[in-house]
Amino acid sequence: MTLIRPLTPEDAAIYHALRLEALGADADSFATSLEEQAGRSLEQVARTLSETTVFGAFIDDELVGTAGFARNAPVKEAHKGVVWGMYLRASARGSGLAGALLDSVIAYARGKVEQLTLIVVSDNRPAVRLYESRGFMRWGLEPRALKLADGRYTVDGYYWLPLTSPEA
Protein backbone atom coordinates (compact mmCIF):
# COMPACT_ATOMS: atom_id res chain seq x y z
CA MET A 1 0.00 0.00 0.00
CA THR A 2 1.26 3.49 -0.84
CA LEU A 3 0.77 6.60 1.25
CA ILE A 4 1.93 10.20 0.91
CA ARG A 5 1.87 12.41 4.00
CA PRO A 6 3.74 15.31 5.55
CA LEU A 7 6.64 14.18 7.69
CA THR A 8 6.82 15.28 11.32
CA PRO A 9 9.79 15.78 13.64
CA GLU A 10 9.14 12.23 14.88
CA ASP A 11 10.12 11.04 11.37
CA ALA A 12 13.60 12.59 11.66
CA ALA A 13 15.51 9.30 11.77
CA ILE A 14 13.85 7.74 8.72
CA TYR A 15 14.01 11.02 6.80
CA HIS A 16 17.69 11.47 7.65
CA ALA A 17 18.47 7.91 6.50
CA LEU A 18 16.68 8.41 3.15
CA ARG A 19 18.30 11.82 2.67
CA LEU A 20 21.73 10.23 3.19
CA GLU A 21 20.79 7.56 0.65
CA ALA A 22 19.72 10.23 -1.85
CA LEU A 23 22.94 12.21 -1.43
CA GLY A 24 24.98 9.06 -1.90
CA ALA A 25 23.04 7.69 -4.87
CA ASP A 26 22.41 10.96 -6.74
CA ALA A 27 25.11 13.26 -5.39
CA ASP A 28 25.19 15.38 -8.57
CA SER A 29 21.52 16.33 -8.12
CA PHE A 30 21.76 18.08 -4.75
CA ALA A 31 23.56 21.16 -3.46
CA THR A 32 23.97 19.56 -0.04
CA SER A 33 26.82 17.05 0.17
CA LEU A 34 26.63 13.65 1.83
CA GLU A 35 29.20 14.83 4.37
CA GLU A 36 27.18 17.92 5.28
CA GLN A 37 24.02 15.89 5.81
CA ALA A 38 25.85 13.18 7.76
CA GLY A 39 27.10 15.90 10.12
CA ARG A 40 23.58 16.98 11.04
CA SER A 41 22.18 15.72 14.29
CA LEU A 42 18.72 14.18 14.53
CA GLU A 43 17.70 17.29 16.46
CA GLN A 44 18.73 19.47 13.51
CA VAL A 45 16.87 17.19 11.09
CA ALA A 46 13.77 17.30 13.32
CA ARG A 47 14.00 21.11 13.34
CA THR A 48 14.05 21.10 9.51
CA LEU A 49 10.91 18.96 9.53
CA SER A 50 9.21 21.39 11.92
CA GLU A 51 10.20 24.54 10.00
CA THR A 52 9.39 23.38 6.46
CA THR A 53 6.94 20.95 4.95
CA VAL A 54 8.41 17.72 3.65
CA PHE A 55 6.13 15.13 2.12
CA GLY A 56 7.09 11.50 2.42
CA ALA A 57 6.07 8.71 0.07
CA PHE A 58 5.67 5.35 1.75
CA ILE A 59 5.31 1.87 0.31
CA ASP A 60 4.19 -0.66 2.92
CA ASP A 61 5.20 1.73 5.74
CA GLU A 62 8.71 2.22 4.30
CA LEU A 63 9.78 5.77 3.38
CA VAL A 64 10.88 5.65 -0.28
CA GLY A 65 10.60 9.26 -1.39
CA THR A 66 10.51 12.87 -0.28
CA ALA A 67 9.72 16.32 -1.64
CA GLY A 68 9.94 19.53 0.33
CA PHE A 69 8.07 22.82 0.21
CA ALA A 70 9.16 26.08 1.77
CA ARG A 71 7.65 29.52 1.48
CA ASN A 72 10.11 32.29 0.76
CA ALA A 73 10.76 34.39 3.87
CA PRO A 74 11.27 38.00 2.71
CA VAL A 75 7.92 39.84 2.70
CA LYS A 76 8.29 40.83 -0.95
CA GLU A 77 8.94 37.18 -1.88
CA ALA A 78 6.33 35.56 0.35
CA HIS A 79 4.10 34.97 -2.67
CA LYS A 80 6.61 32.34 -3.83
CA GLY A 81 7.41 28.88 -2.61
CA VAL A 82 10.15 26.46 -3.53
CA VAL A 83 10.07 22.73 -4.18
CA TRP A 84 13.25 21.16 -2.84
CA GLY A 85 14.82 17.82 -1.95
CA MET A 86 12.79 15.72 -4.41
CA TYR A 87 14.01 12.13 -4.33
CA LEU A 88 12.54 8.73 -5.02
CA ARG A 89 14.39 5.52 -4.29
CA ALA A 90 15.38 3.74 -7.53
CA SER A 91 13.24 0.70 -6.70
CA ALA A 92 10.11 2.90 -6.60
CA ARG A 93 10.76 4.81 -9.81
CA GLY A 94 8.48 4.24 -12.77
CA SER A 95 5.52 3.56 -10.48
CA GLY A 96 3.91 7.00 -10.74
CA LEU A 97 4.83 7.73 -7.15
CA ALA A 98 7.15 10.63 -8.07
CA GLY A 99 4.28 12.35 -9.85
CA ALA A 100 1.94 11.73 -6.93
CA LEU A 101 4.54 13.12 -4.52
CA LEU A 102 5.00 16.27 -6.62
CA ASP A 103 1.22 16.61 -6.99
CA SER A 104 0.95 16.55 -3.19
CA VAL A 105 3.40 19.43 -2.89
CA ILE A 106 1.59 21.43 -5.58
CA ALA A 107 -1.81 20.85 -3.96
CA TYR A 108 -0.43 21.84 -0.56
CA ALA A 109 1.10 25.03 -2.00
CA ARG A 110 -2.14 26.19 -3.66
CA GLY A 111 -3.74 28.87 -1.52
CA LYS A 112 -0.44 29.42 0.34
CA VAL A 113 1.66 30.88 -2.48
CA GLU A 114 1.06 32.27 -5.96
CA GLN A 115 3.87 30.38 -7.64
CA LEU A 116 6.34 27.57 -7.11
CA THR A 117 9.97 27.51 -8.18
CA LEU A 118 12.53 24.75 -8.35
CA ILE A 119 16.02 24.05 -9.59
CA VAL A 120 17.00 20.83 -11.34
CA VAL A 121 20.23 19.65 -12.95
CA SER A 122 19.38 20.14 -16.62
CA ASP A 123 20.66 16.77 -17.81
CA ASN A 124 18.47 14.87 -15.32
CA ARG A 125 15.97 14.03 -18.06
CA PRO A 126 13.48 12.02 -15.95
CA ALA A 127 13.20 14.86 -13.42
CA VAL A 128 12.87 17.51 -16.12
CA ARG A 129 10.12 15.45 -17.81
CA LEU A 130 8.30 15.09 -14.49
CA TYR A 131 8.40 18.79 -13.69
CA GLU A 132 7.39 19.84 -17.19
CA SER A 133 4.53 17.30 -17.17
CA ARG A 134 3.10 19.20 -14.17
CA GLY A 135 3.31 22.55 -15.95
CA PHE A 136 6.64 23.86 -14.66
CA MET A 137 8.30 26.11 -17.23
CA ARG A 138 12.03 26.70 -17.54
CA TRP A 139 12.97 30.35 -17.41
CA GLY A 140 16.74 30.06 -17.31
CA LEU A 141 19.90 28.00 -17.09
CA GLU A 142 22.81 28.53 -14.74
CA PRO A 143 26.14 27.30 -16.07
CA ARG A 144 28.65 26.02 -13.53
CA ALA A 145 25.91 25.92 -10.90
CA LEU A 146 27.40 23.22 -8.68
CA LYS A 147 31.04 22.22 -8.60
CA LEU A 148 31.24 18.48 -8.08
CA ALA A 149 33.94 16.59 -6.20
CA ASP A 150 35.62 15.48 -9.43
CA GLY A 151 35.85 19.05 -10.72
CA ARG A 152 32.90 18.85 -13.13
CA TYR A 153 30.12 21.42 -13.01
CA THR A 154 26.37 21.08 -13.38
CA VAL A 155 24.17 23.24 -15.56
CA ASP A 156 21.01 23.86 -13.57
CA GLY A 157 17.59 24.64 -14.98
CA TYR A 158 15.39 27.17 -13.16
CA TYR A 159 11.67 26.42 -13.33
CA TRP A 160 8.47 28.08 -12.14
CA LEU A 161 4.82 27.13 -11.96
CA PRO A 162 2.14 29.82 -11.59
CA LEU A 163 -0.60 28.74 -9.17
CA THR A 164 -2.75 31.87 -9.57
CA SER A 165 -3.51 34.36 -12.33
CA PRO A 166 -1.56 37.61 -12.14
CA GLU A 167 -3.38 40.59 -10.66
CA ALA A 168 -4.34 43.35 -13.09
In the predicted structure, residue 166 carries a pLDDT above the cut 80? no
Say what the pTM is.
0.93
pLDDT digits (tens, 9 = 90+) for 2-31: 999 999 999 999 999 999 999 999 999 999
Mean per-residue pLDDT, 58-79? 96
Give the integer Cα–Cα distance in Å for 45 and 152: 29
pLDDT digits (tens, 9 = 90+) for 61-71: 999 999 999 99
Query: Crossing angle of helices 97-109/125-133, nearest 10°?
Result: 50
Q: 95 and 105 in contact (C-beta within 8 Å)? A: no
Sketch the domain layout of the chain as residue ranges.
2-162
Is domain 2-162 in CATH 3.40.800.10, yes or no? no
Mean per-residue pLDDT over the chain, rounded: 95
